[in-house]
Chain A
């Protein structure tokens, strides 16, 4: 896979067209490609340390958010199940418990997603400021 990434997408206007060709099977794969020679290339030990710590903090972030979502969803369902009144109070002819389960998890997922993107970008910005300060 060869890519000539001459420019990244800027804020305005369409992103520049980048020519991409299919990799040849058995042709060495992506590891034969030159690594990006900028901010992140592990050109020294210290750069490797920064990169590893970035990976660790991003992984921790992803796991915390995944567990957070699972726990929040489980608590939400448990709360619905533990209030029998929700089964017998009808909104537009549908029990409130059904409506809550049918609608309630999506805002939760979106909130988690939004918070995660901010936190992940913050991690990357911190990495960038560390490596560019060198």
Chain B
């Protein structure tokens, strides 16, 4: 691949993101501007920004790679990533906006009237955020290595530094612009190549490497379903979305609960359209680039396919477009996460000042960088899926029960969150070792959500029941506030 294309595309996206970020700096001056964009964000902008933030390396590169590797099992990832917003709409969107909480720890403290519950939540949010940033940096490493030939670490460092600078300089108001821009960039960067490739392939040149029957064997098809793994993955993705810190922060920028619902439905529609394109890439890859699966470079499918199928300058231009989109994906998801983590860290540790926010932004970019540089990527979609499983087992039960059940107590919430964290964290970290010793357990350790989420909920409910005197005095008033519609202007 011609490295000049890689350099040009990456530099263009970095420059565009930085410019939009700094443009936003001129209008963001006060603490409230930094934190929540002063609540002037409209549903379409907000939904584009949520989409821009949400569509990470796993969505942009990982899904196509997984379809190439696993076949129709990979189709479940985009379904789960999208349907997660349906769960968000049903259980969380409007009440969370009405809670007036900016971060998940704010919600916990307000609902449970406990600083300990807040601390546990903050810690979990920070862990989730850091481990979600790691695959983004690894995706950046892959992209830079494949497209420019530079060593992998350059990509990770470049994204981490850019994100730290943009977030520390602009805060969330500018990030809303950047994120909305990133969504449309990512959509264009996949849609245009997919349409071009389909037109070219439809003409019969170049011929597919495999016949349709070889490329799409029934053994990898929808009928050959591993029921436990699929159900567990769906539990993780559907419920994990509810607890993602960078997603929830965006709901606070909606004017009211009704707008929060409208935003969620728009996000659902935007994602439904977006995911058609990585899916198409994955299906094309099975017929036209099956060798990438064998060589362990499946995640690079989207970056390599346009150059392989389209000769000459047009192939290079399409490649530049997908590189730009991929880099946009790493930048936008990482910066969204860094904004929300910086919000949590600066409020809890640094007094909630603008300066504290900036320090926290830099720290939140650097720690995942260290982890990313010292670990090896094992499939982007898979590692993000595990973060979802962890979130679904820890933050999601607390949020849903906190919103809908007045009996939730601080002790119950803490016990449930710790149970979920220990079980799912243990399965993710210690799973490979244990699975080697007891092979029967392998699917349960590799996809833990189906048993860790119910156990976390059970512990939360049982401990809260036993602790019924611990029900916060303001529980009824708070629940009313969450669910009662805002006053309309007459």
Binding site for B on A (CB under 8 A): 1, 3, 7-10, 14-26, 29-31, 33, 35-36, 38-42, 48, 51, 54-55, 58-59, 61-62, 65-66, 69, 73, 77, 80-82, 84, 87-88, 90, 92-95, 97-98, 100-103, 105-107, 109-110, 112-114, 116-117, 120-121, 124, 127-128
Within the assembled complex, what's the spacing in Å between the Cα atoms of A98 and B85?
Answer: 23
CB-defined interface of B264-287 with A at 8 Å, one 1/0 digit per residue? Answer: 110011001001100100010001
Q: Are A66 and B87 in contact, CB atoms less than 8 angstroms apart?
A: yes
Within the assembled complex, what's the spacing in Å between the Cα atoms of A20 and B261?
Answer: 21
Q: Are B106 and A23 in contact, CB atoms less than 8 angstroms apart?
A: yes
Listed by A's residue number, 11 A-B pairs whose Cβ atoms lie within 8 Å are: A10-B489, A20-B36, A29-B113, A30-B109, A31-B113, A35-B481, A51-B480, A66-B90, A66-B91, A106-B272, A109-B85
Q: Are A40 and B484 in contact, CB atoms less than 8 angstroms apart?
A: yes
Within the assembled complex, what's the spacing in Å between the Cα atoms of A114 and B216?
Answer: 34
Q: Are B89 and A113 in contact, CB atoms less than 8 angstroms apart?
A: yes
Stretch at the interface among B309-317, B419-427, B471-479: B471-479
Asked if A113 meets B39 with Cβ closer than 8 Å, knowing A38-B487, A51-B484, A98-B221, the reply is no
Find residues 24-43 in chain B having any chain A CB closer than 8 Å to their own CB: 30-32, 35-36, 38-40, 42
Q: How large is the interface on B (under 10, 10 to 19, 20 to 34, 35 or more residues)?
A: 35 or more
Q: Are A110 and B269 in contact, CB atoms less than 8 angstroms apart?
A: yes
Asked if A98 meets B484 with Cβ closer than 8 Å, knowing A31-B110, A81-B225, A109-B86, the reply is no
**Chain A residue at minimum C-beta to C-beta distance from B114:** A29
Q: Are B225 and A77 in contact, CB atoms less than 8 angstroms apart?
A: yes
Chain B hits for A82, CB < 8 A: 223
Within the assembled complex, what's the spacing in Å between the Cα atoms of A77 and B72?
Answer: 12
**Chain B residue at minimum C-beta to C-beta distance from A10:** B489
Taking a contact as CB atoms closer than 8 A, the residue among B35, B83, B223, B488 that contacts A105 in the complex is B83
Chain B hits for A62, CB < 8 A: 90-91
**Chain B residue at minimum C-beta to C-beta distance from A57:** B483
Find residues 67-95 in chain B having any chain A CB closer than 8 Å to their own CB: 72, 75, 79, 82-83, 85-87, 89-91, 94
Chain B hits for A36, CB < 8 A: 481, 484, 486-487
Whether B256 sits at the interface, judged by CB under 8 Å, is yes
Q: A1-B106, A21-B31, A102-B283 are in contact. List 4 more A-B contacts (CB 8 A).
A: A18-B255, A23-B102, A30-B110, A110-B269
Say whether chain B's binding surface is mostly helix, strand, loop, or mixed.
helix
Binding site for A on B (CB under 8 A): 30-32, 35-36, 38-40, 42, 72, 75, 79, 82-83, 85-87, 89-91, 94, 99-102, 106, 109-110, 113, 115, 118, 202, 208, 212, 215-216, 218, 221-223, 225, 255-256, 258-259, 261-262, 264-265, 268-269, 272, 275-276, 279, 283, 287, 343, 347-348, 352, 404, 472, 474, 476-481, 483-489
Q: Are A117 and B486 in contact, CB atoms less than 8 angstroms apart?
A: no
Within the assembled complex, what's the spacing in Å between the Cα atoms of A97 and B247?
Answer: 33
Within the assembled complex, what's the spacing in Å between the Cα atoms of A60 and B303?
Answer: 46
Q: Are A87 and B102 in contact, CB atoms less than 8 angstroms apart?
A: no
Q: Are A103 and B276 in contact, CB atoms less than 8 angstroms apart?
A: yes
Within the assembled complex, what's the spacing in Å between the Cα atoms of A24 and B349?
Answer: 11
Chain B hits for A120, CB < 8 A: 94, 261
Chain B hits for A15, CB < 8 A: 39-40, 42, 255
Taking a contact as CB atoms closer than 8 A, the residue among B91, B222, B276 that contacts A97 in the complex is B222
Give A43 Cβ to nearest chain B Cβ, in Å: 11
Which of A7, A14, A48, A51: most chain B CB closer than 10 A? A51
Within the assembled complex, what's the spacing in Å between the Cα atoms of A23 and B346?
Answer: 11
Chain A hits for B276, CB < 8 A: 102-103
Taking a contact as CB atoms closer than 8 A, the residue among A40, A80, A116 that contacts B90 in the complex is A116
Asked if A1 meets B113 with Cβ closer than 8 Å, knowing A30-B478, A40-B484, A62-B90, the reply is no
Give A40 Cβ to nearest chain B Cβ, in Å: 3
**Chain B residue at minimum C-beta to C-beta distance from A1:** B100
Chain A hits for B486, CB < 8 A: 8, 36
Chain A hits for B215, CB < 8 A: 93
Q: Are B40 and A24 in contact, CB atoms less than 8 angstroms apart?
A: no
Q: Are B212 and A7 in contact, CB atoms less than 8 angstroms apart?
A: no
Chain B hits for A121, CB < 8 A: 258, 261
Chain A hits for B94, CB < 8 A: 120
Taking a contact as CB atoms closer than 8 A, the residue among A29, A55, A65, A107 that contacts B479 in the complex is A55
Chain A hits for B216, CB < 8 A: 94-95, 98
Asked if A69 meets B83 with Cβ closer than 8 Å, knowing A25-B348, A93-B287, A117-B262, the reply is yes
Which of A48, A55, A77: most chain B CB closer than 10 A? A55
User: Which 10 residue pairs of A and B lie closest in terms of their CB atoms, listed nearest first?
Assistant: A40-B484, A30-B110, A106-B272, A31-B474, A81-B223, A22-B352, A9-B255, A62-B90, A38-B487, A124-B485
Chain B hits for A61, CB < 8 A: 90
Q: Are B72 and A24 in contact, CB atoms less than 8 angstroms apart?
A: no
Chain B hits for A30, CB < 8 A: 99-101, 106, 109-110, 478
Within the assembled complex, what's the spacing in Å between the Cα atoms of A38 and B100?
Answer: 16
Chain B hits for A65, CB < 8 A: 90
Within the assembled complex, what's the spacing in Å between the Cα atoms of A120 and B379?
Answer: 39
Chain B hits for A87, CB < 8 A: 218, 221, 223
Taking a contact as CB atoms closer than 8 A, the residue among B221, B347, B477 that contacts A42 in the complex is B477
Give B228 Cβ to nearest chain A Cβ, in Å: 14
Within the assembled complex, what's the spacing in Å between the Cα atoms of A98 and B285?
Answer: 14
Chain B hits for A38, CB < 8 A: 487
